[in-house]
Structure 1
Amino acid sequence: MKSIKKIGLTIGLSFTIFLTPSIASAATHTVQSGDSLWKIANHYGVSLTTLQQTNHLKGTTIYPGQKLSLPTNISNQEMDLLARLVHAEAKGEPYAGKVAVATVVLNRVDHHNFPNTIKGVIYERSSGGYYAFTPIKNGAINQPADHSSKRAVQEALAFRGQGQGSIYFYNPRTAKSDWILSRKVTITIGNHRFAK
């Protein structure tokens, strides 16, 4: 009897896993009462602007029962990598700082001077062979991300393309480069300054 219950539980969990929409593979969303474009974008980890463009929406008005096409987005592996970077870089920082760190990576992906993938940006090396992000060098990137960092990545994806264009961040107390200190500061959150 126990083995029959185990088999039933395994089958049930397998169906649940396959029926749960993944962020990268979900194709449509049916609008429910109480939904907003922001909530939908945040839930699926897609840009609000891209969600509007994909569905040819001029504003933010949506209606229950309306079917929205979801834009293709980053893979679950890229989301995990970005969340691990956020966790390592912004541990102990306010939630807004975690969102801003994720936003810097996404802004770099969209910027012509940087690689056009999340993995490419995170593992990019300078001409001197140094990694752009300390957690790559010290191995902290390999630690699992906490819930707050994962949520911050979702929010940064939904906010994508609407920020102040920051492509750098640094701690002014520990920064050793005069060059980074010369960049235009867009915002300061916690111990980090964000710049472009």
Structure 2
Amino acid sequence: MNNIYKKLVAATVATLVFIGTQSGVTFAKEPDAPAFENPDKPVNEEILKETFGKHISNEEKDLLARLVEAEAKGESYEGKVAVATVVLNRVDSSEFPNNISDVIYEKVGHAYAFSPVQNREIEQPASEEAIKAVKEAITSPDRLNHAIYFYNPDIATDDWIRSRQIVKTIDNHVFAI
């Protein structure tokens, strides 16, 4: 019964968002209603809370903004939002850890998944634009076709990442599933 409820709520929310984006109508969010990207995966309470106007820790927002700053410096605002969205999609994916911090600090082999962690650029403060991009990514219904990878094709050296299905290109980054 619980899965049926989750699927019904997800379908209803998706339909309302679609209608709202097509008509310009804004729908109020139900503060206690769950949002489910993947109804079979346990809900990440931090993402759920932020989506409905509650709270993700300031530390996780700051960490994500610093990652966005380091990964998307010189990219457009849209590109910054997309980088933050990839991290959030990873949190929502069963293939990755279940919180922002663990996704950002995840190791793949002997290296970190995100180069700014490896080279310590993540320790630099985030710009106001990166902070704003994180806030938009957290609250936006656009999940970038559930992209969980991004890379710059001009400098990527890993052939595996190039094998992923591309869903969008923004500035110098390719976003893939």
Same fold (TM over 0.5): yes
Q: Which runs of 5+ in 2 are unaligned?
A: 1-16, 18-25, 34-51
- Is 2:139 aligned against 1:166? no
Flag the 1:151–1:71 CA change in 2: closer, same or farther, 3 A: closer
**Deviates most, 160-169 or 116-125:** 160-169
Cα pair 1:103 1:157 within 8 Å, conserved: yes
TM-score (norm 2): 0.71
Task: Provide Cα deviations, 1:27-82, integer angstroms capped at 9, x if missing partner.
Answer: xxxxxxxxxxx9xxxxxxxxx99x734355xxxxxxxxxxxxx5543100000000
Q: Which runs of 5+ in 1 are unaligned?
A: 1-37, 39-47, 57-69
The letter for the 2-side match of 1:80 is D
Of 49, 54, 66, the residue aligned with 2:31 is: 54
Cα pair 2:89 2:143 within 8 Å, conserved: no
TM-score (norm 1): 0.64
Distance 2:165 2:94 in 1: 18
Q: Number of residue pairs matched?
A: 136
Task: Give me the identity figure in percent.
Answer: 53
Q: Which residue of the partner structure matches residue 101 of structure 1? A: 83
Where in structure 2 are the equivalents of 1:1-196 lying within 5 Å? 52-55=29-32, 70-126=52-108, 128-160=109-141, 162-196=143-177
* Offset at residue 178 of structure 1 (A): 1.1
Backbone CA RMSD of aligned residues:
2.3
Cα pair 1:97 1:190 within 8 Å, conserved: yes
Task: Provide Cα deviations, 1:80-110, integer angstroms capped at 9, x if missing partner.
Answer: 0000000000000011000000000000001
Runs of 4 or more above 4 Å deviation: none
